[in-house]
Amino acid sequence: MKQIVFLDGQYVEKSKAKITVFDHGLLYGDGVFEGIRLYNGCIFKLHEHIERLFLSARYIMLNIPMTREDLIEATAETVRRNGLYESGYIRLVVTRGEGTLGLAPWLCPKPSVFIIATTIKLYPDEVYEKGLMLVTAATTRNRVETVNPRIKSLNYLNNILARIEAHNAGAEEALMLDHNGYVIECTADNIFIVRGKKIVTVPVYMGALKGITRDCIMDLARNRGLEVAEEPFTRFEIVAADECFLTGTAAEAVPVTRLDGRVIGSGEPGPVTKELIGAFREITSSDGVRIDGQKGSGRKGSKKR
Ligand code: PMP
């Protein structure tokens, strides 16, 4: 089946899905995006992703040239045209559009919108069973007064540098700190630590993305009677924690068992992490916006993994 991409109102074959070299998304990273998952015929947390996209766009003063409803429909149609159902990954991008070689976004008359629907597997199954090793990156996370990490912008160089550092050190993800040494997040995931029956993540005002998986995991934890807190912490608290895990749309929820050569907790994924991974898998298979346009969520209880 040929891959079909939504590009500025048209559904085109992948080979024809091209944007101009004068697009400021490419020239300057001037644009916003979302990564969204499809499970079992339903797009997970689609409304939340669309809201975050509009909020990111509002902050960078970019007018998305489509309504929320049209974007939702175009997203579902892109998924359908690619024959995806059981599982998929959607990339929704809005760039500033074509302009001059100056920075001036006001000289870019028409933002560009494109939607890619494909499949994704970020980490091997083994990582979910044994846990991931993190290495702290020397590159710190953007400060909130610069490009605030709450904006999901096309400007990912900060994260890319940290990811290269982790890769060069043999790790699959990098831990990113702020300029004071507080833990912020990873290059594409939020971070949680577990202490007994309490889970703790970083407050977004410190400079982390308000992850949609993060918020979902916090809700699932509260519903299970766990205490949930947003508090600053350092690398010391990660090593001192009972458990640690990351959350993200592509990664889902993944255990972390090592940080910079130190063992976290028992060195194995812990019971709270495992319970939350299970709860997350359950909700992704039974919740979301149906791609067939019908109301209601996905088929409860159907197997997908
Ligand atoms: N932080 C960063 C820097 C990310 O790129 C992502 C992935 N979008 C996340 C956290 C996790 O956010 P979400 O759960 O919304 O995918």
Does ligand 1 lie within 6 Å of residue 209's CB atom? Answer: yes
CATH number at residue 21: 3.30.470.10
**Parallel/antiparallel/unpaired status of strands 112-118 and 132-136:** unpaired
Closest C-alpha residue for ligand 1 atom 10: 189
Contact (CB, 8 A) for 201 and 190: yes
Rounded to the nearest angstrom, the distance between the alpha carbon of 40 and the centre of ligand 1 is 22
> Do both 135 and 274 map to the same domain?
yes
The two three-digit tokens of residue 84, written as one number: 């995806």
d(CA 166, CA 14): 32
Give 156-196 pLDDT, tens digit per residue.
999 999 999 999 999 999 999 999 999 999 999 999 999 99
pLDDT, averaged across the chain: 95
How many domains are contained in the chain?
A: 2
Structural domain containing residue 76: 4-120
Is 203 a domain residue?
A: yes
Q: Which of 159, 185, 190, 216 to mutate to test the pocket of ligand 1 (most atoms within 8 A of CB)?
A: 190
Phi and psi at 132, nearest 5°, equal -105, 155
Does ligand 1 lie within 6 Å of residue 159's CB atom? Answer: yes
> Do both 112 and 148 map to the same domain?
no
Give 33-65 pLDDT, tens digit per residue.
999 999 999 999 999 999 999 999 999 999 999
274 is catalytic: no
> Catalytic one among 2, 18, 121, 152?
152
CATH number at residue 132: 3.20.10.10
Of 66, 87, 120, which residue sits at a domain end? 120
Residue 304 has pLDDT above 60, yes or no: no
The residue type of 202 is V
Is 288 a domain residue?
A: no
Q: Which of 249, 254, 276, 284 to mutate to test the pocket of ligand 1 (most atoms within 8 A of CB)?
A: 249
Q: What phi-psi label fits residue 152: left (phi over 0), alpha (psi between -120 and 50 degrees) or beta?
A: beta
Would you say the pTM of this structure is higher than 0.75? Answer: yes
